[in-house]
Amino acid sequence: MKLATLKDGSRDGQLAVVSRDLSTAHFATGMASTLQQVLDDWNFVSPQLEDLYATINGGKARHAFAFDPRQCMAPLPRAYQWADGSAYLNHVELVRKARGAQVPASFYQDPLMYQGGSDDFLGPCEDAHFASQDWGIDFEAELAVVTGDVPCGVSAAQALDAVRLLMLANDLSLRNLIPNELAKGFGFFQSKPATAFSPVAVTPDELGDAWQGGRVHLTLQSTWNGRKVGMCEAGPEMTFHFGQLIAHICKTRNVRAGSIVGSGTVSNKSVEVNGKPEWPKGYSCIAEKRAIETILDGKPSTEFMKFGDTIRIEMKGQNGESLFGAIEQEIVPLEG
């Protein structure tokens, strides 16, 4: 099933079930008012929502209305955890190679993850406000899962069973703030502003065979200022699957229902054409494009996002229909 959170003036919005084709929606009134409530009591509430989903898809829901992604908050407008991985090692390899650094061998066994802010997410069509366009504004197209409860110390396979929902994420990053911040040694803070999520969160069964071994075997599309810059394969090159990412967090603590775990920038290896590397699938963040330029030309030539720039992130299912709806954001100056 597909779930969305619609704006109603409250902090957590109003939960709605959305038809598979994203054309219509129906409030989940009487079952749950927020998505967190569903996650808190998944086994009891989700079957009721599945019933409503079947009714909507059959065109028989009496109070269904047209679904408008612009009315969406993030599926979880705020969450108790946002833990983002860097699960596509190719991205790490490129960024490091561009600055002349090696990828430590341990990175292939031990996932790289950071704890992100989760108190204030952006809806899929909400502008991203920044005080300065000199901060190196970048999009990062990612997949993310929402978990149920996962106890401390579980295996990656057990952790995978706790995946309740999948979403797309735009993990906006301020690249020019990163070097100084990471040099301090405690990870990201100011360089990771509010993250945006797709209009709907979907249960894994919506992906059919494309959901395999904790990976999504589909193409993630990124369109920057109307130009398609990324058609990246999210499946085979994901070094760590979502179960491994969740298990990494669980090593020393419990992970509680409603935790969001991100894949990191989806990234594909180059192919060799006439003895030279090319990246025909493009990129899911500008930093990677700039790393490629640095490797090829000695310096980056693509600039980061400016005020007025737009980014669209979408993924289509095996039938060619949009799975999660699209993230469509504009970069705008912070007012006041």
* C-alpha closest to that of 77 among 4, 174, 1: 4
Closest distance of CB 208 from a second copy, Å: 30
The radius of gyration of the chain's CA atoms, rounded to the nearest angstrom, is: 19
Q: Which is nearer to a second copy, 23 or 109 (CB)?
A: 109
Residue with Cβ nearer a second copy (152 or 271): 152
- Give 228 or 253: the residue with its C-beta nearer to a second copy: 253
Question: Cβ–Cβ contacts within 10 Å for residue 236, how many?
Answer: 10
Instruction: Write out the two tokens for 316.
Output: 């289509």
User: Taking the complex as a whole, how short is the minimal distance between the CB of residue 20 and a second copy, in angstroms?
Assistant: 30
Q: Which residue, 184 or 276, is less far from a second copy as judged by CB?
A: 184
CB burial readout 102-139, b (16+ within 10 A) else e = ebeeebeeebbbbebebeebbbbbbebbbeebebbbbb
For 278, left (φ over 0), alpha (ψ -120 to 50), or beta?
Answer: beta
Which residues sit at the interface with a second copy, rule CB under 8 A? 11, 40, 78-81, 83, 86, 104, 106-107, 110, 112-120, 129-131, 135, 151-153, 174, 177, 180, 182, 184-194, 248-249, 251-259, 334, 336
Contact 263, 168 (CB under 8 A): no
Report the residue number, 65 or 189, with the smaller CB distance to a second copy.
189
CB of 19 to a second copy, least distance (A): 30
Residue 265, helix vs strand vs coil: coil
| Closest separation in Å from C-beta 104 to a second copy | 8
Least spacing, CB of residue 336 vs a second copy, in Å: 8
DSSP per-residue letters across 148-167: --B-TT--HHHHHTTEEEEE
Q: How far is the CB of 316 from a second copy (least distance, A)?
A: 31
CB of 120 or CB of 321, closer to a second copy: 120
The answer to whether the CB of 81 falls within 8 A of the CB of 259 is: yes
Q: How far is the CB of 190 from a second copy (least distance, A)?
A: 5
Minimum CB distance to a second copy smaller for 187 or for 308: 187
Q: List, in order, residues 6 or more apart from 67 with CB less than 8 Å away.
A: 4, 16, 18, 19, 22, 23, 24, 25, 199
